[in-house]
Amino acid sequence: MASKDQNKALGRGIDALFADADEPTSEAAVVDLALTDIRANPYQPRHKFDQAALKELASSIEKSGVFQPIIVRQPDAEIKKYELIAGERRFRASKLAKQTTIPAIVRDVTEEQMMEVAVLENLQREDLTPLEEAEAYESLMKKLKLTQAEVSKRLGKSRPYIANYLRLLGLPAGVKQLIQRGKLSMGQARTLLSLKDKSKLAPLAKKAVKDNLTVRQLEQIVARYNGDTAKPAKKAAVKKSPYIRASEEQLQEKFGTAVSIQTKASKKDQGKIEIPYLSNDDLTRILEILKIDLN
């Protein structure tokens, strides 16, 4: 079973677990292993790799070698075979470069830790789509039998944040494909999820892409479909400039909620920013994004 320190490190990410990799200890010693003695991480949720980027890395390895060791484990001490924990791009690129060995650090890692590290490594990718992030959270829950609350605690994210991403997995396949291809943003997907008549969800998603609808425009359509009637305005609304609308969309993407920028009718260069939250956990999530410490 993993130690408390190891589990704490996993909650902070891969870097924390392997923070002492450069220490001159026998455990962290770098060894050259035959590529044929290493197999890919069976729990790696990422199956597609950018082939152009892999070829570029392979070219670099041919010229200069591998600078950062991969991390492996040895399931059976009696058998000189290893399983990859972290560094699959370097592992694949080394094969492309026709290398026979690769520098590695052998770690004593449990099966459970191996599952979690594979998912955490996937979550640290810069090009992760909202759908891939949702699938990574689901993978942690299924493989390690965790609840949403336990996943949020391990990863340092609020429970509503995790729940919002997991809801994406309930969308129709066609809509999920649009998210995966970057045609629909997280803000648009969240808005679509509030649609009461789910039969209208896929057509509306296609319309959002075709007409290049903003999150705000999509919210208005969803409200109309849901039969929500807006309260009569006490005073005429100030028409928002393209700059203000674009700023709203950027803030909505960042905070994952319907941020509103209100400008004064008398002084259009003054106003206020409203960031709604659904619960205390959601408020904590927003404060974390703002990096505000209330203690």
Question: Residue 160 class from Cβ within 10 Å (0-12 exposed, 13-18 middle, 19+ buried)?
Answer: buried
Helices H / strands E in the chain, number of each: 14, 7
What is the rounded distance in angstroms from the CA atom of residue 25 to the CA atom of residue 31?
A: 12
Task: Evaluate whether 146 touches 119 at the Cβ level (below 8 Å).
Answer: no
What is the rounded distance in angstroms from the CA atom of residue 124 to the CA atom of residue 108?
A: 22
- Which of 18, 113, 114, 108 minimizes the C-alpha distance to 69? 18
- Its sign, for the CA torsion 81, 85, 89, 90, is negative
- Its sign, for the CA torsion 231, 235, 236, 242, is negative
What is the rounded distance in angstroms from the CA atom of residue 40 to the CA atom of residue 210?
A: 40
What is the rounded distance in angstroms from the CA atom of residue 85 to the CA atom of residue 96?
A: 19
Task: Evaluate whether 260 touches 248 at the Cβ level (below 8 Å).
Answer: yes
Residues recorded for the chain: 295
Q: Does residue 88 carry a catalytic annotation?
A: yes
Q: Could you report how far apart the first and last alpha carbons of the chain are, in Å?
A: 34
Query: Which of 27, 88, 116, 135 is an active site residue?
Result: 88
Residues annotated as catalytic are 88
